[in-house]
Structure 1
Amino acid sequence: MTKYSSEFKVKLVNEYFDGQISILGLSKKYGMPSKSPIYRWVHEAEANGLNYLITKKSHKEYSQDFKLSVIEYHKLHEISRLDTAIYFKISPSQVNSWIYRYNHYGVIGLRRRPRGRRPLMAKKKKKQTRLNPTKEEKYKQEILDLKAKLHDAEMDRDILKALKTLRENDPNSKKQN
């Protein structure tokens, strides 16, 4: 069950769109402890319409490739997790979870987890073994790492070009003979 109903979200967003009250004013008016949910709802409604605020009750499973594309989009475009979630029309908490697991475990952390209930009685307690990546996962990890390095190198290049241009155009940095 969600904390706030879909009707409540739509009501607040419509009040904000009417232009009579700010996000902070709405949070105070309705006794909300934080303005961030309202900000997120407004942002989502602006990008995808009011129907996006209606609570979805599906438990969709995403492939490892889709999760990697979300993480890659987030990293390469250097946008917030909220904007990434809105772009892919998924939950921001889902994006947070995938980024956390990717940062801590790499591509392996994005594997599908086994479903169902665990057995109540384990025969012997095994040492927790580290997951071994498959060949495909190793390649995906390497590709993402190389794309990140390339992006960093391009950013460095652009910064150096801008610095060179600024120095060439600055009258104080030119030597006077």
Structure 2
Amino acid sequence: MAKYSLEFKMKVVAEYLSDTIGYKPLAKKYNMKDTQQIRRWVNAYQTSGIKGLKRSRQNKKYSVEFKLKAITLYESGEKSYQTLANELGINNPSLIATWRSIYLSQGIKGLSRPKGRPPIMSLSKPNKRQTKQDPPELTDLEQANQRIKELEYELELQKIKNEYLEQLRSLRRQKAMKTKQESSTNSVTKDIP
């Protein structure tokens, strides 16, 4: 991804805000792949001024709690990723979408994994410390979230079981009524000479 100077960003934003040129012509004029970058710059400038354009995504690390807060706010509200990113001071709203996707597919453990490739292990023999390492203990928040997931799973199983039993009861009632109707029909036909 190309790095752009603050002056360049200001120039592009100023051109857009002058209402003489749109996103697509600007992207074409400056030989940019698409309009998304320009849209982000304009939004960052409109919400935070020059400070918004100075923000750097480089080396910015977000805690698991912060990521969970962002995901929860998105899922509980009617805010777009962009609006939420503005409120939380995140320069790239697609980060929230990425975190949400990871959380839905991998759970909280996916959010706590470091970015990038894992370090290459040394070729020498592993020492005792490397071979006999206990897994890291979960934080209280992670334990609570894990327990919530377990309870949600149990609840879903119980719902399925209840639906199954209700269907079974319904079938038994239908069968009993059908048998009752057949027996009453048979008794009526016996009475007719």
**Distance apart, 1:114 and its partner CA:** 9.3
Structure 2 residue 122 is matched with structure 1 residue 120: yes
Question: What does residue 99 of structure 2 align with?
Answer: 98
Which amino acid in 2 is paired with 1:102?
Y
**Change in CA separation of 1:61 and 1:122 when aligned onto 2, cut-off 3 Å:** farther
Shift, 1:111, TM fit: 2.0
Deviation of residue 70 (structure 1)? 0.8
Q: Which runs of 5+ in 2 are unaligned?
A: 153-193
**Alpha-carbon offset, residue 138 of structure 1:** 4.0
Displacement after TM superposition at 1:54 (Å): 1.5
Equivalent residue for 2:171? Answer: none
Give the whole-Å Cα distance in 2 for the aligned partners of 1:114 and 1:4. 23
State the shift of 1:71 in Å: 0.8
SS at match of 1:121: coil
Matches within 5 A, 1:125-140: 136-140=141-145
Residue correspondences, number = 141
CA distance in 2, matches of 1:119, 1:61: 24
SS at match of 2:87: helix
TM-score under structure 2 length normalisation: 0.58
- Specify the alignment match of 1:14 in structure 2: 14
* Cα distance change of structure 1 residues 36 and 104 upon mapping to structure 2, 3 Å threshold: same
Change (3 A) 1:31 1:59: closer
**Is the alpha carbon distance of 1:111 and 1:8 closer, same or farther for their aligned partners in structure 2, counting shifts above 3 Å?**
same
TM-score normalized with structure 1 length: 0.62
Could you tell me how far 1:109 is from its partner in structure 2?
1.7
Secondary structure of 2:119's counterpart equals coil
Structure 1: 4+ residue segments shifted above 6 A:
none
Q: Identity, % of aligned pairs?
A: 32
Q: Distance in 1 between matches of 2:9 and 2:71?
A: 28
Partners of 1:54 and 1:114 in 2: CA distance: 23
User: Which structure has the bigger radius of gyration?
Assistant: 2
Alignment of 1:139-158 (within 5 A): 139-140=144-145, 142=148
* Amino acid corresponding to residue 59 of structure 1 in structure 2: N
Post-superposition shift, 1:63? 2.3
Contact 1:108 1:133 in 2 (8 A): no
Distance, in Å, in 2 between the alignment partners of 1:123 and 1:84 is 48
Contact 1:64/1:112 (CA < 8 Å) preserved in 2?
no
List gaps (5 residues or longer) in structure 1.
Answer: 147-177
Q: Contact 1:6–1:55 (CA<8 Å) still a contact in 2?
A: no
* Cα distance change on mapping 1:79 and 1:120 into 2, 3 Å: farther
